[in-house]
Structure 1
Amino acid sequence: MTFTLDSTRTQILAQPDAAPRFLIGVDGGGTGTRVKLADLQGKVLGLGDAGPSALGQGAEQAWRHIQQAVEAAAAQAGLATLAPIDCAIGLGLSGAGVPSQAAEFLARQPGYAALALDNDGFTTVLGAHAGQPGAVVASGTGSVGEVLRRDGSRGVAGGWGWIAGDEGSGAWLGLKAIRHACQAMDGRVPASPLAQAVWAVAGSTTEAMLAWGAVAGQHAYASLAPLVFDCVGSDPVAAGFVAEAVFELEKLALALDPEASLPLALCGSIAVRLAPEFSAALRARCVAPLGDSADGGLHLVRGLLQRTVN
């Protein structure tokens, strides 16, 4: 383990004298939750999936889906029951960098022996580079860039949330698509194939689109991103949105590592899909991720336990 836990970013809880027998790594975002259950040496015993656990969608929902995913992982591992006190859990959750959201989440923790909470961008870095220095540009429902430098310091670019930022993400593409469809409905721009594809999902009347937008959240907007990709070949507007997404994600990579000295992993469905469109210089730095954000959660909590022992 080459990184150290930074208490100004990683939230830590530990119960005195607890002796966990299992490790849990959690990757939680706006679309879903993935869990890996491992032994104390990090050998994965079971996997579990559940609904979203981004903290911006509420701490109660986050814990409910995390626990569902943990139960599924335990069942796959052949464990009839898995008490929180027997586990140390490392969580990489979207929204963990917002103090109020993190505090509410931690206040509801169901009794794990040890807990380490950080944002899903950092656990993605840990998983992608197996705890070694490196950078990650992650783009799925949201987007963020994170780096672990050789001196152990950390850096973040982006990750401002799907309304103010998350450029190059699925939700960002969806927002651009819905805005284009609204303008087309008004007659401000031509009714392109992308606009028509959005109308087929969100409604083909003003009233229907307003009703869709009134209840749509991050996940709903991100669900429109595939429409943008589907229309690239027939719609210059969609092609322009994709080109802009590439440009925004390259900006994240440059901000993280201006000297381009660290390996870079591209993670998340959108980043992986856009990878062939990146510049040759950026592609030359790219490496295949060694693990995912749930693996990073395992790295995170193993680092906590090692620090506690030492």
Structure 2
Amino acid sequence: MEQLPVDGDTLYLGIDGGGTKCRAVIVDACGKTLGVGNGGPANPYHGVARALESIDNAADSALRAAGLPKSAKSQLVAGLGLAGVNVPSLFQIVKQWEHPFKEQYLTTDLHIACIGAHEQDDGAVIVSGTGSCGFSHVNGQSLILGAHGFPCGDVGSGAWIGLECVKAVLLDSDQLGPQTVLTDLVAEQLQARGIMIVERLNGAKSSDYAKLTPLVFSAAEQGDEVALRIIQEGADYLTAVARRLWATNPPRMSMLGGVSQRIVDWMDDDIADRMSEPLRQPEHGAVRFARTQHEALAEPVA
């Protein structure tokens, strides 16, 4: 029979809510992981109701994995790190949510990624996945660079690389730009050429463009000048982001996201060599954030 936690035992829920999925972990007061779970997209910028539902579902999934009933949700001290809440209006909406948890502490997905990567509050991260951005937190002061979203920003990300690839291929197709092997590679992957590429990508999401990223890296490694230009431009942008973040004097910096593992090799050597491996996943950073906030509020007033 499922048992509720003993009264007085504090359980922490960490939520990493992104634009494509939501990850959850439940940890006990000793730091032991009890269960992990997943949910759908949790960026309120793309729909508040859907984001909150994804958070709830991810929490339920983690509870099941921990062998706990849904009713235990009311005993969880939850740390939520969500994409999109760097927009002040969305932060307020989620903060005012009538959540099912014992306590809820909200911050950005960048903040919890940074905490998890360094297992401390101070540090810096560069994210290069489907999107891109930079973040540092030092002595209570945060700096966010980028995070403007696709297609407005996200330079050096998978979505940006994919879009630049498509633009170059279309120029080549119209004989208005340099020839590139990307034209044949894209034609093979999308089963389309010229204007048919535009039709195929009608309504495409950032993640759809990001699927073209491996083609660009492959072409660049073969010496294709167009692909080289795209990858180097993205790497130069991320190098500039790193230099601005280092100027805030963080103790460590890490690169996160699927594209980061490949594009770091194209960044300036002095920057690439200073990167540190992330220590924990963002959802564990959310747990640490929740625990810090909870314990601070529990401290007696002198």
Call closer, same or farther: CA 1:198–1:106 in 2, change over 3 Å.
Answer: farther
Relative contact order: is structure 1 or structure 2 higher (C-alpha 8 Å, sep ≥ 6)?
A: 1
**Alignment coverage as a number of residue pairs:** 292
Is 1:163 matched with 2:151? yes
Aligned-partner Cα distance in 2 for 1:285–1:161: 27
Report the residue type matching 1:138 in the other structure: V
* Structure 1 residue 251: Cα displacement: 0.8
RMSD: 2.4
Q: TM-score, normalised by structure 1?
A: 0.84
Call closer, same or farther: CA 1:44–1:87 in 2, change over 3 Å.
Answer: same
Deviates more, 1:105-114 or 1:139-148: 105-114
Aligned-partner Cα distance in 1 for 2:248–2:70: 49
Is 1:301 matched with 2:294? no
> Which residue pairs with 2:103 in the alignment?
114
* Structure 1 residue 168: Cα displacement: 0.9
> Which residue pairs with 1:143 in the alignment?
132
> Which residue pairs with 1:86 in the alignment?
75
Report the residue type matching 2:115 in the other structure: L
1:62 to 27, 51, 62: 51
Q: Is the 8 A contact 1:42 1:298 kept in 2?
A: no
Task: Describe the SS at the equivalent of 2:259.
Answer: helix
2:209 to 221, 233, 245: 221
Q: Is the 8 A contact 1:74 1:82 kept in 2?
A: no
Aligned-partner Cα distance in 2 for 1:198–1:97: 35
Aligned-partner Cα distance in 1 for 2:182–2:174: 15
Aligned-partner Cα distance in 2 for 1:280–1:192: 27
Report the residue type matching 1:31 in the other structure: T
> Which residue pairs with 2:176 in the alignment?
188
Task: Describe the SS at the equivalent of 2:29.
Answer: coil
> Which residue pairs with 1:96 in the alignment?
85
Q: Which has the larger radius of gyration?
A: 2
> Which residue pairs with 1:246 in the alignment?
235
> Which residue pairs with 2:225 in the alignment?
236
Report the residue type matching 2:70 in the other structure: T
Aligned-partner Cα distance in 2 for 1:259–1:67: 36
Aligned-partner Cα distance in 1 for 2:234–2:289: 30
Call closer, same or farther: CA 1:309–1:246 in 2, change over 3 Å.
Answer: same
> Which residue pairs with 2:28 in the alignment?
39
Is 1:154 matched with 2:158? no
* Structure 1 residue 199: Cα displacement: 3.3
Call closer, same or farther: CA 1:283–1:35 in 2, change over 3 Å.
Answer: same
- Stretches of structure 1 that go unaligned for 5 or more consecutive residues are 1-17
Q: Is the 8 A contact 1:202 1:208 kept in 2?
A: no
- Stretches of structure 2 that go unaligned for 5 or more consecutive residues are 1-6
